[in-house]
Amino acid sequence: MENLRGTKSQEEQWMLQNQCFRIYDIVSRLPPQAQSVNVEVRRENHIEYLTKSLKQLGPNFSVLDANRPWLCYWIIHSITLLGDCVDDKLENDFIDFLCRCQGQDGGYGGGPGQMPHLATTYAAINSLITVGGHKSLSSINREKMYEFLLRMKDASGGFRMHDGGEVDVRACYTAISVASVLNILDDRLIQNVGDYIVSCQTFEGGISGEPGSEAHGGYTFCGLAAMVLINEVDRLNLPGLINWVVFRQGIECGFQGRTNKLVDGCYSFWQGGVAAIIQRLHLTVNKQLGLPDTFGCKTESDNDSSDSEGEELSEGSSSPVEIHHPTKGGGKLNTTVAMGVNCGYDFIKRPIGMKPIFNSKALQQYILLCSQEEAGFRDKPGKRKDHYHTCYVLSGLSICQHCNARDADSPPLPGDVMGPYSNLLESVHPLYNIVLDKYYEAYEFFA
Ligand SMILES: CC(C)=CCC/C(C)=C/CC/C(C)=C/COP(=O)(O)OP(=O)(O)O
Ligand SMILES: [Zn+2]
């Protein structure tokens, strides 16, 4: 990364600018065959499938024994994205069940009495925030949660999934996401986690699960989101990451998770989420490329246009605010939290300064035509629907529909939503994958 920040020769600058033009150029063309399709999101069918699944599970949500909070999250998040909610009885069962998964020493296990685990802790917290309301939010023991997260901290700076478990980028993200959304993130939790994540960025530009492994969409989302939440995203090679992610959208219009693998509906969120995060990091991207702040930014007329794909990118007149706080890697303290900055909130309040770096129409086409079943969503034709894919395909569809908006609180224009405008889903906070209104409620509650 030093070469992107240090003094550059004219030739180096020219090469970097060229690389950037190449990225933007590819994005505006790929894949070329995306056309408008008038396919509806089968909203009522999906809601019925999801609500029925919840009811069939009963008050113990007994299925997939070590993954029950995940099942809760996939279903409740999907229902909320579709603009619906569950009835009072189900909501109470939901909260009571997750309370029984909460360990006495903090964190949530895969079921009542099970060992707390970072993945199920993340799923439980996102579920409780999605349900919202006083009973749900106040059921979370934040003091014990902080102790649990500290216990999961490894000497490398990374986090372990559970006591004696593996250290990886997923653990780093789930720990940082939970701490951030509950407003308990501090220097002790942050210390050196950026070093661990930086060590996982591979030669391809994406991020792997552990140092030395292959870059993958799931881990790239986790690593990038965590770096934003700790305000150290400028330590990643962002042009390299963009270069990697734009090539993950295939001619089938969907995203693949890694090089030379098949596209799959769930990467609509993992890779689409990466793209959505990048759109708010244009100042850092341009700085790393040695370009002016306004390069590749959206203009006022871009925001007024309903279909901007394929247009030339020009210097923008908008003045995006990307707040920079002093961050220090290499084992020193990150001062962000001491300065009272909430990076998750800060991030979502920024204007979306860059055009989408993926073809959102094409991805909507893949989702509506290839992933959608009569009720529920799947990886690809020939595979069966499931709750995991329903959750992440819907999350990706929401990302597509909202990626041309001026900012998080502006509604998309009709041209941004493939099919009838009634297909529009709720928007999500891309760093946590929580429906935005529910995130705002939690932000106020834990402020
Ligand atoms: C928040 C949280 C817990 C995030 C998890 C992120 C995530 C989805 C990681 C993916 C893990 C992985 C290597 C899958 C490859 O599966 P595969 O070989 O079956 O699929 P592929 O062929 O598409 O790579
Ligand atoms: Zn999948």
Mark 379-399 as b/e (b = at least 16 C-beta within 10 Å). Answer: beeeeebebbbbbbbbbbbbb
Q: Name the residue at shortest CA distance from atom 7 of ligand 1.
A: 218
What is the spatial distance between Cα 324 and Cα 258, in angstroms, rounded to a whole number?
31
Kindly tell me if the per-residue pLDDT of 23 is higher than 50.
Answer: yes
The predicted pLDDT at position 55 comes to 84
Q: Name the residue at shortest CA distance from atom 11 of ligand 1.
A: 218
Cα 216 to ligand 1 centre (Å): 7
Could you tell me the two tokens for 425? 């889903």
Helix, strand, coil shares of the chain, percent, nearest 5, are: 50, 5, 45
What is the spatial distance between Cα 267 and Cα 273, in angstroms, rounded to a whole number?
9
The predicted pLDDT at position 60 comes to 65
Cα 267 to ligand 2 centre (Å): 7
CA distances to 137, 374, 404, 409 from 371, rounded to whole Å, are 33, 10, 22, 28
CA torsion sign for 379, 399, 282, 252 is positive
Whether 267 is catalytic: yes
Kindly tell me if the per-residue pLDDT of 5 is higher than 80.
Answer: no
The predicted pLDDT at position 57 comes to 76
Compute, in degrees rounded to 10, the torsion defined by CA atoms 235, 28, 263, 411. 80
Q: Once rounded to an integer, what is the mean pLDDT over residues 239-249? A: 97
Q: Name the residue at shortest CA distance from atom 22 of ligand 1.
A: 261
Q: Once rounded to an integer, what is the mean pLDDT over residues 351-356? A: 91
Q: Once rounded to an integer, what is the mean pLDDT over residues 186-195? A: 98
Kindly tell me if the per-residue pLDDT of 9 is higher than 90.
Answer: no
Q: Are 149 and 105 in contact (CB under 8 A)?
A: no
pLDDT band of residue 238 (cuts 50, 70, 90) is very high
Q: Once rounded to an integer, what is the mean pLDDT over residues 83-92? A: 95
Q: Are 58 and 439 in contact (CB under 8 A)?
A: no
The tens digit of pLDDT for each residue in 113-151 reads 999 999 999 999 999 999 999 999 999 999 999 999 999
CA distances to 65, 208, 264 from 120, rounded to whole Å, are 12, 21, 23
The tens digit of pLDDT for each residue in 329-350 reads 444 455 566 566 899 999 999 9
Residues with CB under 6 A from ligand 1: 119, 122, 170, 173-174, 216, 218-219, 222, 257-258, 261, 264, 270
Q: Is 0.90 exceeded by the ipTM?
A: yes
Q: Which of 234, 264, 302, 416 is catalytic?
A: 264
Q: Which of 386, 388, 407, 440 is catalytic?
A: 386
Tokens 């509806």 correspond to what residue? Answer: 40
The predicted pLDDT at position 303 comes to 54
Q: Once rounded to an integer, what is the mean pLDDT over residues 232-260? A: 96
Give the ligand 1 atom nearest the CA of 256. Answer: 23
Q: Are 329 and 198 in contact (CB under 8 A)?
A: yes
The full DSSP string for 159-206 is BBSSTT--B-HHHHHHHHHHHHHTT---HHHHTTHHHHHHTTB-TTSS
Residues 6+ away with beta carbon under 8 Å from 169: 158, 196, 197, 200, 207, 208, 209, 210, 219, 222, 223, 226
Among 15-24, 78-87, 158-167, the minimum mean pLDDT is found in 15-24
Kindly tell me if the per-residue pLDDT of 444 is higher than 70.
Answer: yes
What is the spatial distance between Cα 264 and Cα 280, in angstroms, rounded to a whole number?
25
Q: Once rounded to an integer, what is the mean pLDDT over residues 358-366? A: 96
What is the spatial distance between Cα 401 and Cα 392, in angstroms, rounded to a whole number?
14
Q: Once rounded to an integer, what is the mean pLDDT over residues 68-87? A: 96
What is the spatial distance between Cα 339 and Cα 239, in angstroms, rounded to a whole number?
29
Whether 266 is catalytic: yes
Q: Which of 168, 302, 379, 416 is catalytic?
A: 379
Tokens 């909501």 correspond to what residue? Answer: 91
Q: Once rounded to an integer, what is the mean pLDDT over residues 197-221? A: 98
Percent with pLDDT over 90 in the chain: 75
What is the spatial distance between Cα 431 and Cα 442, in angstroms, rounded to a whole number?
14
pTM of the predicted model as reported, rounded to 2 decimal places: 0.87
The predicted pLDDT at position 14 comes to 45
The predicted pLDDT at position 337 comes to 61
20 or 166, greater pLDDT: 166
Cα 362 to ligand 2 centre (Å): 18
Whether 304 is catalytic: no
Q: Does residue 362 sit in helix, strand or coil?
A: helix
Q: Any alpha helices (H) in 230-304, and if so which ranges?
A: 238-246, 267-278, 282-289, 300-304
Q: Are 389 and 378 in contact (CB under 8 A)?
A: yes
The alpha carbons of the chain give a radius of gyration, in whole angstroms, of 21
Tokens 């939440």 correspond to what residue? Answer: 229
67 or 446, greater pLDDT: 446
35 or 410, greater pLDDT: 410
Q: Are 349 and 408 in contact (CB under 8 A)?
A: yes
109 burial via Cβ count (<10 Å: 0-12, 13-18, 19+): buried
Q: Which of 258, 282, 350, 387 is catalytic?
A: 258
Q: Are 375 and 48 in contact (CB under 8 A)?
A: yes
Cα 218 to ligand 1 centre (Å): 5
Torsions phi, psi for 201 (to 5 deg): -75, 125
> How does the average pLDDT of the chain come out, rounded?
87
Tokens 């707040």 correspond to what residue? Answer: 323
174 or 30, greater pLDDT: 174
Q: Are 68 and 102 in contact (CB under 8 A)?
A: no
Give the ligand 1 atom nearest the CA of 216. Answer: 13
The predicted pLDDT at position 65 comes to 75
